[in-house]
Amino acid sequence: MSSGRAGYTGYIYGLAIPLLLALCVAPVIAAFLPLILSPGESLRLSGELLTSPRLWGLWTRSCGIALGTALTATALGLAIGTCLNGPGLKRRRWLYATFAVPFLLPPHVLAVAWIDVLGQQGLLESWGIPTFSLYSTTGVIWVQCLTWYPIPMLLVVYRLQQIDPHLWESAQILSEPGPIFRRITLPLLYPALSTGFLAVFIFSLLSFSVPSLLQVPVFTVEIYSSFNSLLDQRQAVLLSAPMLLTGGFLACIALRRGHALLPTLPRGNQGMAAGTHYNRWSACFLALFFGIAVVLPTLAMLYRIGAPHVLLSAWRTGAGEIGTSVLLGGLGATLLLVLVLPMTLLVPSRPAPLLWTSLLAYLVSGPVFGIGLIQVWNHAGPTGYLYDRFPILLIAVLGRYALFAWLGCHLVAPWLPPDTLSAARNLGSGKVRTFLTITLPALRKPLAGVWACLFLLILGELECIVLVAPPGWVPVSLRIFTLMHYGPTSMVSALALLQTIVTALVLYGLAACIGRNKVYTPDKSRYHTVGR
Amino acid sequence: MKQFLYLITAVILATTFVGCEGASPNTVVVYTALDEIYSKPILDAFTQETGIAVQAVYDTEAAKTTGLVTRLINETNRPRCDVFWNNEVAQTILLKDRGILEAYAPVAAQDIPAPYKDGENFWTGFAARARVLIYNTDQIEDPPTSIHDFLRPEYRGKCAVALPLFGTTATHAAALFSHWGDAKALDFFRALKENEVAFVAGNGVVRDAVARGEYAFGLTDTDDANGAMEDGLPTKWLLPDQDALGTLLIPNTVALVKGSPNPTGGQQLIEYLLSPAVESRLAQSRSIQIPLNPKVEVPENVPSITAIRRMPTTFEEMAAHMESTARQLRELLVK
């Protein structure tokens, strides 16, 4: 048994390590190579940057915004997640989906919608409702936390569904809701909250478009201006180092806390209510929040679109780009799961190489990774052939989002039924057969959730693929960002709305497929759909 | 499971082989920073006329993100692009200085005036935009006429300019630094900051904010300003400083990329883009690009090149000041 295990480990790592090196590490090394090759110059440049008070000011502001965004989004995610998971609430899955709508839109599109709502001549002011200045640090935090709160919210919901209902019932008999929340719910939710916090913090730290639209100078402006205004790639690459160090430091802390990124609770009640008891206060809170976070920006977008013919025109001119995005998102998410899931489940004891390499690829800023991709792939021969075509987009998103595939796969691992796996092992089923016939079907629902998250992240990808998108393969995120500054703004809103609708349809289709119950019939070695 | 993996493999292979004509002699790859809504119809017309397919990569907001210029710099070992069609001039000159462009003297450029083309034939200008003042007609009756009006106390906090690190505003800033010298230009930008001029994300944002009435006036390009007027928004625009400093004109530029996969096709495309028909088409479009070729008839709503008082700065001087200007302005404005 142990030799078989070692064989599998060797096989998987033999496949995984070269792939990870090619997808995640090689572009980062290629981007940093000019700095590595001239250490004297790099040290001098580092000294200049480290002694600049202006840069420290920008860095402090960036960290402050990231911290504010992450704290607020996590608090919102906790509140909404627990309300949505409370007993007595009907059509819960629809509510999860509805409250996750802001995550379907790129942050810069939501920022424009919020300018229409909270701007000086915005919707609220026209109704005589006083507002705060959106063009401020508070404004950036507001827009970003209302974009990314679905991440901690969904993690909280997922975690609550893992809590043993007996534990919950016992606690309710013995204590009041307040102490239960403080002493039981919160500690159990810690892994979800810390993972959500970390994800939002990193998203916010790397964000450029929202602070830029809201006129708040942040550290990423320095990186972009080094690329564009100064054409000084060496400085730009060096400036991305603090992002790497900060993200790496946070990941280290999270891992040192033991289970922060690796929830170890067994599979729980799967939808049994383990949240705050649903009452009129939570209903009011959910309704109010829904009105603010979802309805207001949607109204602003519809107001911008104005007439239905704009939607039609957006569809005529943007259907190709939307198709490219859906293709890229679908293929990218699927391939990420195909690559990462076996590594995570079959060799669960050694996550470090995958974690650190994928973290490296995400934390180095998007443009730096894009430059690295050009250096690695744009050569005569097979790599150049791939670089000139659609696969370079796939390669880019596989490298950038391996981290989230890894996180997702670790989050779904506790859903595996250990008794069934033991039984399969005792009956002599091999690892691969067990994986294909038991593990995958058992995990299909949580894996669908991970697939959906990866799909959404890839749809929003902009900063890396802007450098490598080949002619004829433009994702819609790129087109929206192009139009935002030059084209008609109604078209931007129309394209964003169409993207949201198409994304929702894809996810609905996925939910419909996954929702079917399947049973395994050993004699035919295949699954049959038996109903809904 | 097997079927599923076969399906995925088939889709990847299909997407790999689609667009195989990338390097074929009958295809030209163009990187263009001009808005897709204006450039795509022209490229389609070229294909219709010549039978040469064009594969275009469009820029995202004139290098707001790391756009086409960064791509070209990093693709030098194996250029994918044949023709670079930039919507401004300074970065084209920077590419020439880095040895990324190939000299080519287009026949169609003979009528373009000398200041708008490179002396060594590395690039040629056509169809210019002007930097203009856009103002909200509901808020201003007596419009400002100079960029110095941004410093007037009555307009404190009421005007907007794009952050002068990106796009044509960066080019404009470099022109001012080149013309006035570093000290005077830096004082001007410092005074703008002290008068609470908003430095926003781009020229389109200036246009939208002025149209919404968030700001009384701002500085933008003719294409943005005219677009707002055509949309019926309460705005008008004018050419600033016509009695003294002059207005900055920024032409489109087109250049052949060194070592490009299809130089012959690239040259054909360059000839087409520099033809009077294309300049005329761009002048008649919503972007009202100003024709540089004197043979092109200028529409009524487009200012004539001969009637505009230009800023007396050469494009080469501007380009030479781009980097130092950006460094100084970044120190001043981004903190």
Q: Do B16 and A375 touch (CB under 8 A)?
A: no
pLDDT score recorded for residue B135: 97
Matching residue, tokens 């200008």:
B125
Q: Distance (Å, rounded) from C-alpha B272 to C-alpha B52? A: 12
pLDDT score recorded for residue B155: 95
Report yes or no: A443 at the B interface, CB cutoff 8 Å. Answer: no
Report yes or no: A316 at the B interface, CB cutoff 8 Å. Answer: no
Q: Do A367 and B223 touch (CB under 8 A)?
A: no
Q: Distance (Å, rounded) from C-alpha A73 to C-alpha B31? A: 40
Percent pLDDT > 90 in chain A is 19
b/e per residue B99-122 (b: at least 16 CB within 10 A): ebbbebebebbeebeeebbbeebb
Compute the 3-state secondary structure of chain B and give helix, strand, coil in percent, each to the nearest 5. Answer: 45, 20, 35
Question: Which residues lie below 8 Å from residue A417, measured CB to CB, with a gap of 6+?
Answer: A267, A438, A442
pLDDT score recorded for residue B290: 96
Interface test with B, best of A48, A215, A228 (most B CBs within 10 A): A228
Report yes or no: A121 at the B interface, CB cutoff 8 Å. Answer: yes
Is residue A176 scored above 50 in pLDDT? yes
Cα-Cα-Cα-Cα torsion A244, A245, A247, A251, nearest 10 degrees, comes to 130
Interface test with A, best of B60, B94, B226 (most A CBs within 10 A): B60
Report yes or no: A390 at the B interface, CB cutoff 8 Å. Answer: yes
Tell me the residues of chain A between 488 and 507 that have a Cβ less than 8 Å away from chain B.
Answer: 488-489
Is residue B101 scored above 90 in pLDDT? yes
Q: Do A391 and B16 touch (CB under 8 A)?
A: yes
Q: Distance (Å, rounded) from C-alpha B65 to C-alpha B59? A: 9
Q: Which residues of A touch B61 (CB under 8 A)?
A: 481-482, 484-486
Q: Distance (Å, rounded) from C-alpha B32 to C-alpha B91? A: 13
Give A360-385 pLDDT, tens digit per residue: 888 888 888 998 999 999 998 899 98
Comparing CB atoms, the residue among B55, B63, B208 nearest residue A471 is: B55
Comparing CB atoms, the residue among B71, B201, B208 nearest residue A212 is: B201
Residue B179 to residues B183, B218, B327, Cα–Cα distance (Å): 11, 21, 17
pLDDT score recorded for residue A3: 45
Q: Distance (Å, rounded) from C-alpha A346 to C-alpha A483? A: 45
CB atoms within 10 A of CB A271: 12
Q: Are strands B27-32 and B53-58 parallel, antiparallel or unpaired?
A: parallel
Q: Which of these, B47, B123, B104, B24, lies nearest to A388 by C-alpha position?
A: B24
Q: Do A389 and B170 touch (CB under 8 A)?
A: no
Q: Distance (Å, rounded) from C-alpha A12 to C-alpha A6? A: 10
Q: Which residues of A touch B58 (CB under 8 A)?
A: 474, 482
pLDDT score recorded for residue B140: 92
Cα of A485 to nearest chain B Cα, Å: 5
Q: Do B70 and A388 touch (CB under 8 A)?
A: no
Q: Do B323 and A229 touch (CB under 8 A)?
A: yes
Q: Which of these, B236, B162, B239, B155, lies nearest to B196 by C-alpha position?
A: B155
Q: Which of these, A124, A111, A215, A122, lies nearest to B213 by C-alpha position?
A: A122
Question: B275 — phi, psi (to 5°)?
Answer: -70, 150
Q: Do A370 and B63 touch (CB under 8 A)?
A: no
Cα of A421 to nearest chain B Cα, Å: 19
Is residue A272 scored above 60 in pLDDT? no
Report yes or no: A387 at the B interface, CB cutoff 8 Å. Answer: yes
pLDDT score recorded for residue A82: 86
Enter the tokens of residue B41: 């119809």
Q: Distance (Å, rounded) from C-alpha A47 to C-alpha A35? A: 14
Q: Which residues of B touch A120 (CB under 8 A)?
A: 212-214
Please give the sequence-ordered ranges of beta strands (E in DSSP) within A37-160, or none if there are none: none
Percent pLDDT > 70 in chain A is 86
**Residue of chain B whose alpha carbon sits nearest to that of A335:** B8
CB atoms within 10 A of CB B144: 18
Is residue A350 scored above 50 in pLDDT? yes
Report yes or no: A386 at the B interface, CB cutoff 8 Å. Answer: yes
Is residue A186 scored above 80 in pLDDT? yes
Which position has the higher pLDDT, A264 or A315? Answer: A315
Cα of A481 to nearest chain B Cα, Å: 6
Confidence at A269, pLDDT banded by 50, 70, 90: very low
Identity of the amino acid at A6:
A
Question: Which residues lie below 8 Å from residue A317, measured CB to CB, with a gap of 6+?
Answer: A491
- ipTM entry: 0.80
Q: Distance (Å, rounded) from C-alpha B249 to C-alpha B303? A: 11
Q: Do A466 and B60 touch (CB under 8 A)?
A: yes
Q: Distance (Å, rounded) from C-alpha A96 to C-alpha A156? A: 11
pLDDT score recorded for residue B11: 66
Q: Distance (Å, rounded) from C-alpha A474 to C-alpha A494? A: 17
Comparing CB atoms, the residue among A375, A436, A487 nearest residue B37 is: A487
Cα of A71 to nearest chain B Cα, Å: 24
Interface test with B, best of A229, A378, A385 (most B CBs within 10 A): A229
Interface test with A, best of B65, B168, B233 (most A CBs within 10 A): B65
pLDDT score recorded for residue B256: 97
Report yes or no: A466 at the B interface, CB cutoff 8 Å. Answer: yes
Q: Distance (Å, rounded) from C-alpha A327 to C-alpha B39? A: 26
**Helix (H) or strand (E) segment spanning residue B32:** strand B27-32
Is residue A324 scored above 80 in pLDDT? yes
Q: Do B200 and A228 touch (CB under 8 A)?
A: no
Q: Which residues of B touch A227 (CB under 8 A)?
A: 66, 70
Comparing CB atoms, the residue among A231, A380, A387 nearest residue B69 is: A231
Give A429-486 pLDDT, tens digit per residue: 777 777 777 778 888 888 888 899 899 999 988 888 888 888 888 888 888 877 776 5
Question: Which residues lie below 8 Å from residue A214, measured CB to CB, with a gap of 6+?
Answer: A111, A115, A134, A135, A136, A139, A140, A143
Give B227-264 pLDDT, tens digit per residue: 899 989 999 999 999 988 999 999 999 999 999 999 99
Enter the tokens of residue B178: 């080149």
Q: Do B80 and A331 touch (CB under 8 A)?
A: no
Q: Distance (Å, rounded) from C-alpha A505 to C-alpha B253? A: 43
Enter the tokens of residue B95: 């590419």
pLDDT score recorded for residue A485: 61
Q: Do A331 and B198 touch (CB under 8 A)?
A: no
Confidence at B128, pLDDT banded by 50, 70, 90: very high
Based on C-alpha coordinates, what's the Rg of chain A?
Answer: 24
Residues A465 and A393 sit within 8 Å (Cβ to Cβ): yes
Q: Which residues of B touch A225 (CB under 8 A)?
A: 165-166, 326, 330, 334
Which position has the higher pLDDT, B335 or B213? Answer: B213
Confidence at A264, pLDDT banded by 50, 70, 90: very low
Q: Distance (Å, rounded) from C-alpha B324 to C-alpha B317? A: 12
Residues A235 and A46 sit within 8 Å (Cβ to Cβ): no
Confidence at A262, pLDDT banded by 50, 70, 90: very low
On the 0-12 / 13-18 / 19+ scale of CB atoms within 10 A, B308 is middle
Is residue A531 scored above 60 in pLDDT? no
Q: Distance (Å, rounded) from C-alpha B264 to C-alpha B26? A: 10
Q: Picking from A162-166, A188-192, A300-304, which range would have the lowest pLDDT averaged per residue?
A: A162-166
Residue B18 sits at the vertex; the CA angle it makes with B16 and B19, to the nearest 5 degrees, is 110
Q: Which of A248-257, A459-468, B154-163: highest mean pLDDT?
A: B154-163
Interface test with A, best of B20, B66, B210, B229 (most A CBs within 10 A): B66
b/e per residue B200-237 (b: at least 16 CB within 10 A): bbbbbbbbbbbbbebbbbbbbbbbbbbbbbeeebebbb
Please tell me what DSSP assigns to residue B149: G
pLDDT score recorded for residue A2: 43
